[in-house]
Structure 1
């Protein structure tokens, strides 16, 4: 049996679509989370963002990169905005979008992700005082955009390459909901059959398994895991509905070209001023920053000249040119959180060219995400059916991730399992904690 000293830290890394976190498990089972400095203090949740900007030094122009809280702070302070890239994990299944050009330099998706992972690794080394070369890393049951097992395997391969590029010598992958189960298990003094629901920014994953001190004591077996299921939608999909309903119309999504017809009996133009694909990309955080290209700029300027409502297209141009995806994301997150606690909330998004202030009801929001909710329901029901488990036999449901706060999501589980059996805890760090414990278990096996 190897000791943790001989193999290094028992480290768990949850590289998330929206947030990332790191934890280390000590030999006595105690778990410590890495913390990251911000302008307002420290945080255990590291935003999975990358900011690239040009800086002049000694007469030469260099491209500098910043990640997490530092990336956001540099972006907000910059007079001339660089490129703030969000939700990179959502690209991993794409065989067509392999990279992007920033300031004339080509970067692969793996390159961009590795910059975030490098800073996470260095932060862990500073805090824990040891080199970090090995980690147990979370992965969703189903990646965003995956249609089959081959797509998921392709995404895992790319993610592993990004870890290697960032200085890791070996990576062990574990399903994120199973990692969350390890974290929940630490709270138990008896065995349970549990359903884990892990809601990330881009994926919703579920696992049904036996956990508890008795399971640990006798040693886990493959039979303890009764089944996994997942789908490539979660918080980002809910965000997209808000953008579509509240933001895109103010940016011209329902605007048309001007009619140049002279005859009074000829119909007015019904040609959209802006191609629909631009608004589709606006709804997805991982695509929004890639709208800042010369091609899109030319399309939008031409659309502004032909539009019935040029001021709306001008607002869209400003949002893209100023790379205001982060501000838009924050506005969407605020209203979504407010609606988790109140029956109505005010959505506000303001910049130099637009001022959107409107009241949204929880009923409105739940209507917008109704299809997504049905997909989650079907995924959970399919897991129970495939595993041959009656909902009444499940002792506890443990939900983790930011989307688990949404009342309509909680109702899915409370309806099937009763409210008394549904629990949440450490919504943004449970997976990292569990991954560290899993790493410790691997070291001791």
Structure 2
């Protein structure tokens, strides 16, 4: 039985494999061991995934781009369908097509079938909804079986990251694992000891798990709503006193998993009616163009890229010429903090709950292990580090630690 570890992420996906030299990540797209969790359905031809999917969309090819698919697990959206050309596809089937391609690429590298898998999962797929959380895990498990896995199990993503970190340590320590991904932020407090790696049961080493459904896509959404959407009429008044543009349109346009809702024709017509009723019709005209030309995913990509540039360089200019010649908006690091600072505080707030659940004070934590793309945001990182100020900060593989840890767990559970 050939086993693997599958980290299906909101933003990126990895596949962990085992070999004679230990765990490694499969090359899923060229030489890259990460695959953006995106799929593009051209009007004709074979679906594309990952960077190729986004390149086709950005390049103007006609079709439907879908990203952040993981975020529909545990929600009512998983039962809905979305138009793809002249077809309608269910979200469960869309996720299945994406993960089947990931599995096939891993099998091409191993030159054999992958029959067993340990699937990564967040501590909470859905906040405050035990039934929704259970449904999400069951749905993901069902999809894994449908694409050919005959044995499967789950592991919390931060626990998987701790298994990757454990390979680096010399002795015993208490580690807080912070996995801040695209859709969720997850924390585990784990007793790390290299000598424990081969134990069949590590339950006593896992002291606490906590999580919240906030991740990088939420930072993108808040930044978009605050900086970009007002240029498209968000918050602007209608001519009729006391009424404003419907906020739901802008929230959908700023949310990866909801953008496709706008592309049904009826929404475009209703926006044109709102344009005539708007006190600032020139703004609503930009919204109409974004929807009619299906620019929503492109805008979301641009906002994400702008967020990253601000995190790295301190400021950027977001070019919006696709909506109107010469249109742009500047974004500073202060803007990023102003519009997403509360998200960072909410993420860090879960650490206190995790420490309480473990029965520990902050000073008991020896190491803080950071993984996940959103740990690159300075204010997120600072908020987390402030919760355990005495801990040694360890940089994990931003996108690969979870997948590597899942491969380690797969070898333990299924023998390789």
Q: TM range, normalised to the smaller chain?
A: over 0.9
Deviations 1:55-99 (A, max 9, x none): 2xxxxxxx64222122223323344x3111111111111136512
Matched residue SS, 1:42: coil
Higher Rg:
1
Partner of 2:9: 16
Shift, 1:312, TM fit: 2.1
Matched residue SS, 1:351: coil
C-alpha distance in 2, partners of 1:359/1:101?
Answer: 34
Equivalent of 2:28, from 11, 32, 36? 36
Cα 1:217–1:306 shift into 2, 3 Å: closer
Shift, 1:12, TM fit: 1.0
Given that 1:314 and 1:353 are in contact with CA atoms closer than 8 Å, whether structure 2 keeps it comes out as no
Cα 1:410–1:130 shift into 2, 3 Å: same
Partner of 2:137: 156
Cα 1:96–1:51 shift into 2, 3 Å: closer
Matched residue SS, 2:13: strand
TM-score by length of 2: 0.93
Deviations 1:187-228 (A, max 9, x none): 122222101011111100000011221222555432110010
Given that 1:349 and 1:355 are in contact with CA atoms closer than 8 Å, whether structure 2 keeps it comes out as yes
Cα 1:218–1:105 shift into 2, 3 Å: closer
Equivalent of 2:41, from 34, 43, 52? 52
Given that 2:11 and 2:181 are in contact with CA atoms closer than 8 Å, whether structure 1 keeps it comes out as yes
C-alpha distance in 2, partners of 1:386/1:368?
Answer: 30
Cα 1:217–1:75 shift into 2, 3 Å: closer
Matched residue SS, 1:36: coil
Please give the residue correspondences for 1:286-365 in structure 2 after superposition, counting only pairs within 5 Å. 286-353=257-324, 355-365=326-336
Partner of 2:176: 195
2:235 corresponds to 1:243: no
2:19 corresponds to 1:26: yes
Given that 1:99 and 1:106 are in contact with CA atoms closer than 8 Å, whether structure 2 keeps it comes out as no
C-alpha distance in 1, partners of 2:282/2:149?
Answer: 49
Given that 1:34 and 1:44 are in contact with CA atoms closer than 8 Å, whether structure 2 keeps it comes out as yes
Please give the residue correspondences for 1:36-435 in structure 2 after superposition, counting only pairs within 5 Å. 36-37=28-29, 42-55=31-44, 64-79=46-61, 81-95=62-76, 98-102=79-83, 103-143=85-125, 145-216=126-197, 220-258=201-239, 269-272=241-244, 274-353=245-324, 355-418=326-389, 421-435=392-406
C-alpha distance in 1, partners of 2:324/2:314?
Answer: 30
Given that 1:183 and 1:433 are in contact with CA atoms closer than 8 Å, whether structure 2 keeps it comes out as yes
C-alpha distance in 1, partners of 2:313/2:210?
Answer: 31
Cα 1:44–1:324 shift into 2, 3 Å: farther
Q: Which stretch has the larger CA shift, 176-185 or 207-216? A: 207-216
Paired positions, count:
415
Given that 2:187 and 2:211 are in contact with CA atoms closer than 8 Å, whether structure 1 keeps it comes out as yes
Cα 1:227–1:355 shift into 2, 3 Å: farther
Given that 1:138 and 1:435 are in contact with CA atoms closer than 8 Å, whether structure 2 keeps it comes out as yes
Gaps of 5+ in 1: 1-6, 56-62, 260-268
Deviations 1:371-391 (A, max 9, x none): 212211221101101211111
C-alpha distance in 2, partners of 1:202/1:221?
Answer: 27
C-alpha distance in 2, partners of 1:347/1:371?
Answer: 23
C-alpha distance in 1, partners of 2:130/2:157?
Answer: 16
Matched residue SS, 1:205: strand
Shift, 1:126, TM fit: 1.0
Matched residue SS, 2:168: coil
TM-score by length of 1: 0.88
Q: Which stretch has the larger CA shift, 119-128 or 360-369? A: 360-369
Cα 1:97–1:175 shift into 2, 3 Å: closer
C-alpha distance in 1, partners of 2:198/2:49?
Answer: 41
Shift, 1:444, TM fit: 4.2
Shift, 1:27, TM fit: 4.7
Matched residue SS, 2:387: helix
C-alpha distance in 2, partners of 1:20/1:355?
Answer: 36
